[in-house]
Amino acid sequence: MSIKNRIKLYEAFHHDKHLQKKVINDDNFTYRELIRIMKPYLNGITTVLDIGSGVGTVDFYLASKGKQVTGIEISKNATDIAKMNAISLNLDKEITFINATFPNRIPKKKYDLVIFSEVIEHLEDDAKALRDIWKIVKPGGILIITTPSVNAPLYRLGLLHDFDKRVGHLRRYNLDNLSNLVIRSGFQILKTGSHEGILRNYLFTNNFAGVLLKFIRWKISTIISLFDFALIQLFGSSNIYLVARKVSK
């Protein structure tokens, strides 16, 4: 997919987003798994780069924890909303949002933590993207990747091919090929795992089921997430994650 078409796709996706009323907590259904993956690595972290920051939801969470955050986002619509959100939440001093196409434009500074969540599967040259990220992670710094699994139950059943095409997925990964790619880029793998089962995957990929997401709050979020984790054990993972540390090549 050309850069022009990618931009058009994500502008359409973010055209009707609204301002966020408050910073999410750890139990937010959409982001609870990413927060769970990040939290063990936040102590001692000061600067964060979020590649594919969307409307900034995760960045506001991190900024509220005292982090200095930079978000890079391909969609101008999303970036504009994120900037307005930052002001309304009184977090604009802690966050900088940049409307740019990664990796065509990368920051010049280095970061303690880079979040690369649900992005690598959209990029034509994933190896180059990881090499570019290596350049902007501080020595000993952390990279967190999440991405759809090629072994996702719904994908293996042939039910996600239209979804992947619609949202611009170019490929899917398993933990072995993702780990090898990251290691070749100069990182040391710290942890890998699964973070989404068939239930969460269905809710996030089906337009009709997705309507229910706004009603999944408080204890309901925890109950559904526990049930989804049990489904991972039965049917396999729909999404995978990887945590790595920068080492010298």
Residues whose CB falls within 8 Å of the CB of residue 133, separated by 6 or more in sequence, listed in order: 51, 103, 114, 116, 143, 185
144 DSSP β-pair partners = 115, 243
pLDDT value at residue 60: 98
Q: Report d(CA 47, CA 67) in Å as an integer.
A: 6
pLDDT in tens, 110-137: 999 999 999 999 999 999 999 999 999 9
pTM (predicted TM-score): 0.92
pLDDT in tens, 79-89: 999 999 999 99
Q: What is the 3-state secondary structure (H, E, C) of 123-175?
A: CCCHHHHHHHHHHHEEEEEEEEEEEEECCCHHHHCCCCHHHHHHHCCCCCECH
pLDDT for 138 beyond 80: yes
Chain centre distance of CA 154: 20
Nearest to 42 by CA among 140, 151, 142: 142
CATH of 3-246, one of 3.40.50.1370, 3.40.50.150, 3.40.50.300, 3.40.30.10: 3.40.50.150
Are the beta carbons of 106 and 41 closer than 8 angstroms? Answer: no
Nearest to 152 by CA among 164, 144, 168, 166: 164
pLDDT value at residue 190: 98
Helices (H), the chain: 3-13, 32-38, 57-64, 76-88, 126-136, 153-156, 161-167, 175-184, 198-205, 207-210, 218-235
What is the residue-averaged pLDDT of the chain?
91
- DSSP 8-state code for residue 29: T
**Any idea where the domains of the chain sit in the sequence?**
3-246
CB burial string 96-130: b at 16+ within 10 A, e below: bbebbebbeebbeeebbbbbbbbbbbbbeebeebb
